[in-house]
C-alpha cells in the first residue's frame, strides 16, 4: 500500500531505489528543513542528529531523503543494516510474522522463532562449550544482563570496563562507558563498583597488556571482580583495534582468576569485521557475548549468550522482559542470519575492508592529517590529527559535514572526536564505495587547502 506523506511516497519498494548518489537540492533540502522545524518543536535537542535530512527510503548502499537526494550510506544506521535496509528476506519474514501474531510475550506464551534465534546464537558465537541465550531489546540491555549474570554466578560485585569503551545509555551502560560528553554529563551518580582499566590503543601507544593487568590486580583486585566487559574493537571510542595478543592476554587473566569475560559484540558482531564475531580474530572465547544492532536487520533485538554453567545459576524469573525477542524481531533476525550465510556476507565484509583500507592508506600518504588508518572487515576508520599528532576534532567535523553536503553519509567517533568511521551495509556495491572514497579525497583536498 502506498501512502502520500508531505508530498513524498512511503511504501515504494526499496528494491526500486536506484543505487546512485544524487543531489537534487542543497543539503538539507526544503522538505527536510520543514521536518527539522517540527522536530525542533517536538523533540529534545538532546536526541542528536548526524545529518539533518529525513529518510524516505533506504536500500543497498543508498539512503534517499524526502527531497529526493540520495546519499551513499557509510553508516548502516550505526552498524545495524548490515544485510541492507529492508533486505528482501527480512521484508518477507517480517511481513508473514506481522500477519500471524505480533506479540504474546515469550514468558507468557513462547514461540518457536525465539528458540531458533537462541539456537543460532549458541551455534554461531565463539566456542563449542554448552551455551544458553536469551533475547532483549537493545545493546544496552544486553550488556546490563551480562553483568547481572556475572554477578549472580560469581557472587562478586566489581565490574571492569575500559577507557574508550561505550556500552549504552542506561544506568549501567553509562557507568561502563568511558566518555563523559555527551553520554554521562550531568546524569550521575553512576552505578557503584565499576572500574575503568586502560584499553590497548596502539596508535597512541597506551594501554599495553602489562598496564591493563597491573590495574586489574593492584587497583581492583582479582578476587573482587565479577566481570570484565570489553569491546573486541572499541566502536564509539574510534574503531580502536587493540594490539595483537592484548585481548587474549585479558581472556587468560579472566580464566586464571575466575572472572567472567563479557565480550560486547553489539557493534562488531554479525559479519561487521569479516567474521561472525570480532573475538574470533584473536582466537578468544568469551564467557558471555552481548549482541544487538545487526542481529535484527533494523528491528530492535539484543542477545545474551552465556556459558550454560554460569547462566544456569540465575534463579527462575530473574531474567527477561515484556518485549525481549519480540516475534517480528525474531523473524527478522532469522532472515538476517540466513542472508549472511547464504549470500556470503562474511567474505563481502572482508572485501569491503580491503577496498577501503587500500584507498584510505593511499590517501594517508598524501595527507599528513590522516594519522592512522585502521579497522577490520567493513569496520574501518581514519584518525585525523594536527601537525603535532594531536587529535583534530574540528577538521573531522568539517570533513564529515562536507561529505554530507556531497551526498556521502559518514559518521564521526572517538574519545577525542577526531575519527571518521566507515561501516557501510555489506550489500553496498564496489562502485558506490569507490565513489564515496573519491568524494572523501576531494573533501580532504579542499579542507586541507583552507586549513590554517
Ligand X SMILES: Cc1ncc(COP(=O)(O)O)c(C=O)c1O
Contact call for residue 266 and ligand X (CB under 6 A):
yes
The size of the chain, in residues, is 452
Q: Measured on CA atoms in the order 76, 80, 82, 88, is the torsion positive or negative?
A: negative
Q: Measured on CA atoms in the order 312, 150, 292, 191, is the torsion positive or negative?
A: positive
Which is nearer to ligand X, 208 or 264 (by Cβ)?
264
Q: How far is CA 70 from the centre of its chain?
A: 23
Which is nearer to ligand X, 65 or 141 (by Cβ)?
141
CB of 80 to ligand X, least distance (A): 9
Residue selected from 78, 87, 229, 271 as contacting ligand X according to rule CB under 6 A: 78
Of 229-237, 332-340, 378-386, 398-406, which segment contacts ligand X by CB under 6 A? Answer: 229-237
Contact call for residue 420 and ligand X (CB under 6 A):
no
* Beta strand spans in 254-377 (E): 260-264, 288-291, 302-307, 370-376
CB of 393 to ligand X, least distance (A): 19
Contact call for residue 292 and ligand X (CB under 6 A):
yes
Residue whose C-beta lies closest to ligand X: 139
CB 55 within 8 A of CB 63: yes
CB of 34 to ligand X, least distance (A): 28
CB of 266 to ligand X, least distance (A): 4
Rounded distance between C-alpha atoms, residue 160 and residue 253, angstroms: 13
Q: What residues numbered 168-207 form the site for ligand X, per CB under 6 A?
A: 168
Q: What residues numbered 236-255 form the site for ligand X, per CB under 6 A?
A: 236
HEC letters along 35-72: HHHHHHHHCCCCCCCCCCCCEEEEECCEEEECCCCEEE
Rounded distance between C-alpha atoms, residue 288 and residue 133, angstroms: 9
Contact call for residue 158 and ligand X (CB under 6 A):
no
Residue selected from 32, 133, 267, 291 as contacting ligand X according to rule CB under 6 A: 267
CB 132 within 8 A of CB 118: yes
- Look up residue 416 and give its three cell numbers: 577525542
Residue selected from 67, 73, 163, 264 as contacting ligand X according to rule CB under 6 A: 264
Comparing CA positions, the residue from 112, 117, 111 lying closest to residue 135 is 117
Query: Any residues with CB less than 8 A from the CB of 312 and at least 6 apart, and which?
Result: 132
Of 134-142, 365-373, 425-433, 435-443, which segment contacts ligand X by CB under 6 A? Answer: 134-142
Contact call for residue 163 and ligand X (CB under 6 A):
no
Rounded distance between C-alpha atoms, residue 120 and residue 133, angstroms: 9
CB of 18 to ligand X, least distance (A): 30
CB of 150 to ligand X, least distance (A): 16
Comparing CA positions, the residue from 313, 312, 294 lying closest to residue 303 is 294
CB-based burial label for 316 (10 Å; 0-12, 13-18, 19+): exposed
Size of the site for ligand X (CB under 6 A): 15
Residue selected from 235, 238, 325, 424 as contacting ligand X according to rule CB under 6 A: 235
Contact call for residue 138 and ligand X (CB under 6 A):
yes
Which is nearer to ligand X, 94 or 146 (by Cβ)?
146
CB of 316 to ligand X, least distance (A): 26
CB of 265 to ligand X, least distance (A): 8
Of 51-59, 81-89, 133-141, 376-384, which segment contacts ligand X by CB under 6 A? Answer: 133-141
Which is nearer to ligand X, 31 or 422 (by Cβ)?
422
Reply yes or no: is the peptide bond before residue 268 cis, omega within 30 of 0.
no
Which is nearer to ligand X, 332 or 392 (by Cβ)?
332
Rounded distance between C-alpha atoms, residue 49 and residue 35, angstroms: 13
Contact call for residue 285 and ligand X (CB under 6 A):
no
Which is nearer to ligand X, 169 or 313 (by Cβ)?
169
Three-point CA angle 291, 297, 301, nearest 5°: 45
Rounded distance between C-alpha atoms, residue 163 and residue 177, angstroms: 8
Comparing CA positions, the residue from 270, 292, 265 lying closest to residue 141 is 292
Binding mask 368-387 for ligand X (x = CB under 6 A): --------------------
Contact call for residue 406 and ligand X (CB under 6 A):
no
Residue selected from 54, 106, 111, 166 as contacting ligand X according to rule CB under 6 A: 166
- Residues near ligand X, by CB under 6 A: 78, 138-140, 143, 166-168, 231, 235-236, 264, 266-267, 292
Amino acid at each position: 500500500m502506498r501512502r502520500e506523506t508531505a508530498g513524498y511516497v512511503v511504501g515504494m519498494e526499496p528494491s526500486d531505489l536506484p543505487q546512485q548518489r544524487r543531489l537534487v537540492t542543497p543539503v538539507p533540502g526544503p522538505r527536510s528543513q520543514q521536518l527539522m522545524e517540527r522536530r525542533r518543536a517536538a523533540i529534545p535537542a538532546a536526541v542528536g542528529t548526524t545529518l539533518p535530512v529525513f529518510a524516505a527510503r533506504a536500500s543497498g548502499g543508498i539512503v534517499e531523503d524526502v527531497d529526493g537526494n540520495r546519499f551513499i550510506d557509510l553508516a548502516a544506521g550505526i552498524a545495524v543494516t548490515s544485510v541492507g535496509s529492508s533486505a528482501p528476506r527480512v521484508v518477507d519474514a517480517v511481513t508473514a510474522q506481522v500477519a500471524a501474531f505480533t506479540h504474546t510475550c515469550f514468558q507468557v506464551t513462547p514461540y518457536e522463532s525465539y528458540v531458533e534465534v537462541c539456537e543460532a546464537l549458541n551455534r554461531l558465537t565463539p566456542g563449542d562449550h554448552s551455551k544458553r541465550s536469551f533475547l532483549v531489546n537493545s545493546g544496552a540491555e544486553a550488556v546490563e544482563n551480562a553483568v547481572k549474570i556475572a554477578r549472580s554466578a560469581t557472587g562478586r560485585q566489581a565490574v571492569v570496563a575500559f577507557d574508550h569503551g561505550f556500552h549504552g545509555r542506561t544506568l549501567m551502560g553509562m557507568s561502563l562507558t568511558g566518555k563523559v560528553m555527551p553520554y554521562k554529563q550531568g546524569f550521575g551518580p553512576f552505578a557503584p563498583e565499576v572500574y575503568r582499566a586502560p584499553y590497548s590503543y596502539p596508535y597512541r601507544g597506551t594501554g599495553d597488556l602489562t598496564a591493563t593487568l597491573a590495574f586489574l590486580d593492584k587497583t581492583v583486585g582479582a578476587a573482587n571482580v565479577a566481570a570484565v566487559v570489553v569491546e573486541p574493537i572499541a566502536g564509539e571510542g574510534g574503531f580502536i583495534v587493540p594490539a595483537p595478543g592484548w585481548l587474549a592476554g585479558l581472556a587468560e587473566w579472566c580464566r586464571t582468576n575466575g572472572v567472567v569475560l563479557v565480550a560486547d559484540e553489539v557493534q562488531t558482531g554479525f559479519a561487521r569485521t569479516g567474521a561472525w564475531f570480532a573475538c574470533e580474530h584473536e582466537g578468544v572465547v568469551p564467557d558471555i557475548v552481548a549482541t544487538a544492532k545487526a542481529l535484527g536487520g533494523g528491528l530492535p533485538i539484543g542477545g545474551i549468550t552465556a556459558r550454560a554453567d554460569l547462566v544456569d545459576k540465575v534463579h527462575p524469573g530473574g531474567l527477561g522482559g515484556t518485549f525481549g525477542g519480540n516475534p517480528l524481531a525474531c523473524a527478522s533476525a532469522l532472515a538476517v542470519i540466513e542472508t549472511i550465510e547464504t549470500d556470503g556476507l562474511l567474505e563481502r565484509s572482508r572485501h569491503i575492508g580491503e577496498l577501503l583500507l587500500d584507498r584510505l592508506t593511499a590517501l594517508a600518504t598524501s595527507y599528513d592529517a590522516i594519522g592512522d588508518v585502521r579497522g577490520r572487515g567493513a569496520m574501518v576508520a581514519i584518525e585525523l590529527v594536527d601537525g603535532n599528532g594531536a587529535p583534530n576534532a574540528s577538521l573531522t567535523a568539517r570533513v564529515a559535514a562536507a561529505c554530507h553536503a556531497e551526498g556521502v553519509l559518514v559518521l564521526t567517533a572517538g574519545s577525542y572526536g577526531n575519527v571518521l568511521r566507515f561501516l557501510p551495509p555489506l550489500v553496498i556495491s564496489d562502485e558506490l564505495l569507490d565513489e564515496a572514497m573519491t568524494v572523501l579525497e576531494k573533501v580532504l583536498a579542499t579542507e586541507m587547502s583552507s586549513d590554517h
